[in-house]
Chains A and B, each alone.
Chain A
């Protein structure tokens, strides 16, 4: 079974631009979550989608948004990029919502904002 696939692996953008990251979950998984990983703040929860609905949201500004499609694939968008948005963005999928279903992580998209 293929794992969680994130594209692209690396991205370089300029301040003020916007970016879209993509995540394909494991087949059959309906929940997709996004996390931001930085050396200073560690791993922080962005949002979770389940059956195309945002079920949970972290404490990030509205510049960070996401969506989930009917095939469970998810995209994350960051508008008006700032230098502090440079990070590893990790997507994770799980079979069901909650109840301790383990998250399966992709290898991430490393975003560098210059």
Chain B
């Protein structure tokens, strides 16, 4: 069975500072990897995805993530955050053979302070 661990439940960060959100997964098969963001009272919005190819993936809103197969990690980074990046971020994996079922991590709440 797959599992996803987001190592930080909360990350406070000052505006214009960089942020890194850590995600590790366990799976016995090759997986697809995703990062989603959830703003208050809203659903989830896709930030980026890794299916194959280049291990550095660029997403929306200036976010990027790096897939590391040997460390089974998919950390999310942004070089300079804005107040509007305050939200909860979820890492997720899916097994290509299991349709669209996503297994999510517990989420990381990012609080950007002025």
Contact = CB atoms under 8 A, between A and B. Distances in A.
A57 B103 CA distance: 12
Interface in A70-110: 90, 92, 94, 97-108
Interface string A38-75: 00001111001010000110100000000000000000
A103 B100 contact: yes
Interface residues of B, number: 26
Interface of B: 32, 34, 36, 41-46, 49, 51, 90, 92, 94, 96-107
B87 to A, nearest CB: 14
A107 B40 CA distance: 10
A33 interface: yes
A102 to B, nearest CB: 5
A103 B101 CA distance: 10
Interface of A: 4, 31, 33, 35, 42-45, 48, 50, 55-56, 58, 90, 92, 94, 97-108
Instruction: Tell me the dominant secondary structure on chain A's binding face.
Output: strand
Given A42-B107, A100-B51, A102-B34, A33 B43 contact: no
Contacts of A50: 99
A90 B99 contact: no
A48 B90 contact: no
